[in-house]
Structure 1
Amino acid sequence: MAYDFEKLYINGQWCDSSSGHFIEVENPATLEHFARVPEGNEKDIDAAVQAAHCAFESWSTTEIGQRIGLMKKMLEIFESYKDKIIELEVKELGAPVSFSVQSHCVYQYTRTRSYIECATELPLEYSLKASSVYREPIGVVACITPWNYPLGQVVQKVIPAILMGNTVVLKPSQHTPLTAYLLVDAFDRAGFPAGVINLVTGRGSAVGDALTSHPLVDMVSFTGSTKVGAKLSQRALESIKRISLELGGKSPFIWLPDADYDKAVGKLFDSIFLNSGQTCTAFSRLLIPEADKQLIEELLLKHLPDYPVGDPTDPQIKIGPLSSKAQFEKVTSYIKLGFEEGARMLAGEIPSDCSKGYYVKPVIFTDVKNSMRIAREEIFGPVLCVITYKDIEEAICIANDTPYGLNAAVFGDKALAISVAKRIKAGNVYINDGPRDVTAPFGGYKQSGIGREGGYAGLLEFTQAKAIFDHSTF
């Protein structure tokens, strides 16, 4: 591997930032600063965008088969970095090794492979009654990614954008930027042309803003909070750039009456507690029948010991620290707010000390009203809100009473669950133990975003349609 964390990657070369400054990367489990990356600036962004702009004409006209061939080679190289990826995810995010292996590493290979397979089958040309329609690449794509899934969110943007003939400037989170270096190194070693992918690290307020407003950027693809996404999109739309936003969520999990609740606990706890609750799709609102409240509370307490908190390098540990001190303080403030709003803490505690890592034990609040802030705002930590309902109509009403609409789940009789799922205003809904389908479109309703990732929809997101009226009647 030829990468250097203290370099940027611009126009096919690892190079110094013009700023001469660096950002320290902290291990949230030990508070050790173990690496640093350049604090890129507007000059670095301009160089990267210019490189991507110059590379676009040639790359956009490269045969799709050649792009796919290079991507397969990249994936082969990237898969050889498995151990290093896992090591870095544990260090930079604090994700337990037990979770990092599958979710932060192997699953990203699966996603990449899925995009490659879909790209081989995707029709980019088709005929209508009096015209031909072509799906063409958009241009230079600014990919701005968050810290909670450092590699996964990069893969969801960079792979489909490049497969579709676009060029990319990637700005990973300043808090968890390291695994992005491994991906870019794999692109470099696979022989992608200079300028097709560029990496600039830095603070979002400087690098992100410079990227979003650059006149040669044609599209902005952003994953992060709704608040930041709204600001970035406003800046992008000043020059009418294409935007794709994957934002926040406050996802409901409805347990239908008389369901086998014990079988649903694992899916619930995996969603809200793994990755320390730092998942936009987390089932943070559990909606249960009022008549079964006591039974369900006992079940939740019964299974909670299956999710131990501690050193993320320990294979037995399922929950590591939060990603940063800012996250620790934010989540702690919401836990205190839960008490103030009148919710009852069934499990957990108010964290008080982060001198030995940013650890927060899982918190379960019951007696929660959907009007409470802890039930309406995205906490982004291991905090579950349990809300009761009287009947199915009320459950659906509560589920939809949110500004978000990213994810949801329904557990119980399959036919009834599907009918309920169809009435939930969310881009994704799970039924019982249904697994994630990487080929399905992923994205949100309402304030959870604009656009879709995954499969054919994720590829088409990085194209634009051109109609040519060529069916002459003469």
Structure 2
Amino acid sequence: MREYVKFYIDGQWTDPAGAGTFVVVNPATEEVCGKVALGSSADVDRAVAAARRAFPGWSTTTGEERVEVLQNVLDVYQKRAGDLAAALTEEMGAPAVLAGGFQVGLGAGHLSTAIAVLKDFVFEEQRGATLVVKEPIGVCGLITPWNWPMNQIAVKVFPALATGCTMVLKPSEKSPFTGQVFAEILDAAGVPAGVFNLVQGDGPGVGVPLAGHADVDMISFTGSTRAGVDIARNAAPTVKRVTQELGGKSPNIVLDDEAFAENVGKGVANMMGNSGQTCSAPSRMLVPAARMDEAIAIARETASGITVGDPQGDFVMGPVVSGAQFEKIQALIQKGIDEGATLVAGGPGRPDGLERGYYVKPTVFARVTNDMTVAREEIFGPVVTILGYDSVDHAVEIANDAEYGLAGYVAGADLEQARAVARRIRAGWVAINDAFDFACPFGGYKKSGNGREWGEFGFHDYLETKGILGYTPEAASSG
């Protein structure tokens, strides 16, 4: 059993101010697998003070010096990849092939991308007599979720390091093991003391004092829209920058062409990845109404082929993260049935043969209308809803009829048509035919948040822009 009862502050593993702990439950077995210390405002104060002391030195390092540190981090990260994967499987139930593959791979990919961006990033630009300077914003509070731990830590920590910021990281208490291993990686890589600090804990104990701290210059938060609103309220009195990546209910428009059957199958399979616990998941599939029966048959066949079981075994899907998450998903599945959606696959309860663990059946609803709860509320589980459209214009109208705007998807053989549809979707990240790019900006419209992460775009929120007028000697002397 893992016991992580110290925080990483000012380059040292230190005891917390209090004695509280949080018990971590393995979602595959429902048994306790570890505990972590619960931080408090006193711990936040110590960590922020360490980051503040480290800022003058780290912020004035050169890009080349920061590249060297990040490269050291990448070297250690790759050596510890197996440890990160094991932690992911244990704390959140990610199947071993997913944990050791895409989950850990995302962290390495974002780090490699940050290194490449930093090598060519322009921090100073002369515009006439004025020098425009991009400077690190200062001390950053980074609050990350449980569903893609390494991805979300990576897209916050690595841009912050690359731009010369110092930081305090608060991982989710539901998936704290990866954050602890990550801190060990940065320590071993030689990140200077105080530049990176880790305080474990929950929202009230750590998140609230971090968001409201007067010496924190910026908060980057990923999580639910409800929690994001609270973060913004807590941060408002100090007028700090707040960036948020929040909820989603992303449309997946499947166009009416020869690739229809393949794209319906892919859409269902993609929704079930990570047990549906992905904020940008393609949860609302839109298909031509005239082909609804065909879509139902394909979706049923695809869902029935998705295996569910022990994440240490050879299964596509593991459990969802917790009992509370399991119960929420079950209630929403029942809501879909009660509101009259056609249950195509899955449904309430655990899959056959699984009596313990927070396992959910891969579930598909069809003939869904966009006013139903399952079409509007983020379920955050392996549930896809299929809605019919009469025309492409109708599909775009349905796609944009949501309070969220994190992601969108378009699948079709005609690339020109897919491009035209993608332009009309009101979302910050739209993928055509499952395209993927580490350099693409990621973030939301509407209630899905503000700010952008990934690649070069992830640097900007960690920088302030300064204009120095009369910088050239000629302009200064000309008055």
TM bin, normalised by shorter chain, reads over 0.9
Distance change (3 Å), C-alpha of 1:465 and 1:270: farther
> Residue deviations 1:216-240, cap 9 Å, x none?
0100000000110011012112110
Aligned-pair CA distance for 1:460: 1.7
Helix, strand or coil for the counterpart of 2:456? helix
Give the secondary structure class of the aligned counterpart of 2:129. Answer: coil
The residue that corresponds to 2:290 in the other structure is: 291
Superposed counterparts of 1:235-254, under 5 Å: 235-254=234-253
Question: What is the deviation of 1:150?
Answer: 1.3
Please identify, of 380-389 and 14-23, the stretch whose mean Cα deviation from structure 2 is larger: 14-23
Answer with 165-174 or 261-270: which moved more: 261-270
Alpha-carbon distance between aligned partners in 2 of 1:433 and 1:135, rounded to the nearest angstrom: 34
Aligned residues: 470
Which deviates more, 122-131 or 342-351? 122-131
1:176 corresponds to which residue? 175
Gaps of 5+ in 1: none
Q: Match of 1:305, as an amino acid? A: S
* Percent of residue pairs identical: 41
Measure the CA separation in 1 of the matches of 2:21 and 2:434. 45
Following superposition of structure 1 onto structure 2, how do residues 68-467 of structure 1 map, counting pairs within 5 Å?
68-314=67-313, 316-351=314-349, 356-412=356-412, 413-434=414-435, 436-467=436-467
Deviation (angstroms), 1:324: 0.2
Q: CA-atom RMSD, angstroms?
A: 1.4
Q: Identify if the C-alpha distance between structure 1 residues 303 and 360 changes in structure 2 by more than 3 Å, giving closer, same or farther.
A: same
Q: How far 1:352 sits from its partner (Å)? A: 6.2
Question: What whole-Å deviation, never above 9, does each CA across 1:139-167 have from its counterpart, x for those lacking one?
Answer: 10000000101111011101110111000
**Stretch of structure 1 that moved more, 91-100 or 260-269:** 260-269
Secondary structure of 2:197 counterpart: strand
Distance 2:141 2:396 in 1: 37
Contact 1:259 1:411 in 2 (8 A): no
Distance 1:180 1:266 in 2: 35
Q: Is the 8 A contact 1:78 1:182 kept in 2?
A: no
SS in 1 for 2:132: strand
Q: Which amino acid aligns with 2:447?
A: Q
Residue by residue over 1:300-337, the C-alpha shift from the partner in whole angstroms, topping out at 9 and shown as x without a partner, is 122223311111101x2011101000100110110011
Q: Where does the alignment leave 5 or more consecutive residues of structure 2 unmatched?
A: none
Task: Map Cα deviations across residues 59-112 of structure 1 (whole Å, 9 max, x no partner).
Answer: 101112111101111110111011111111111010111211222112211111
Letter in 2 for 1:344: T
In 1, Cα distance between equivalents of 2:272 and 2:202: 28
Structure 1 residues 289 and 266, CA, compared in 2 at 3 Å: closer, same or farther? closer
SS of structure 2 residue aligned to 1:33: strand
**Distance change (3 Å), C-alpha of 1:338 and 1:119:** same
Partners of 2:3 and 2:53 in 1: CA distance: 25
Deviations along 1:194-214, whole A, 9 cap, x unmatched? 100000001112210010111
Separation in 2, partners of 1:266, 1:95: 22
C-alpha distance in 2 between matches for 1:23 and 1:366: 40
Residues 208, 71 of structure 1: alpha-carbon distance in 2 compared, 3 angstrom cutoff: same
Q: Pick which of 256-265 and 390-399 moved more.
A: 256-265
Partners of 1:267 and 1:237 in 2: CA distance: 42
Q: State the Cα distance separating 1:433 from its structure 2 match.
A: 3.9
CA distance in 1, matches of 2:56, 2:38: 30
- The residue type equivalent to 2:325 in the other structure is Q
Give 2:110's aligned amino acid: R
Deviations 1:25-81 (A, max 9, x none): 110001121111101111111000000011101110111211110111111011101
What is the identity, as a one-letter code, of the residue corresponding to 1:139?
G
Q: Which residue of 1 aligns with 2:56?
A: 57
Does the 8 Å CA contact 1:287/1:395 hold for their aligned counterparts?
Answer: yes
- Structure 1 pair 27/75, CA: closer, same or farther in 2 (3 Å)? same
SS of structure 2 residue aligned to 1:58 = helix
Distance of 1:228 and 1:433 partners within structure 2: 29
Offset, 1:267 = 3.5
Aligned partners of 1:4 and 1:14 also within 8 Å: no
Aligned-partner SS, 2:77: helix
- SS of 1:287's partner is strand
Quote the residue 1:37 is aligned against.
Answer: 36
SS of the residue 1:142 aligns to:
strand
CA 1:261–1:384 in 2, change beyond 3 Å: closer, same or farther? same
2:350–2:361 contact (8 Å) kept in structure 1: no
Q: For residue 238 of structure 1, give the secondary structure of its aligned residue in structure 2.
A: helix
Q: Following the alignment from structure 1 to structure 2, what is the Cα–Cα distance between the partners of residues 299 and 261?
A: 10
Q: Secondary structure at the match of 1:455?
A: coil
User: What displacement does 1:266 show?
Assistant: 4.8
Task: Give the secondary structure class of the aligned counterpart of 2:219.
Answer: strand
Shift of 1:355: 5.8
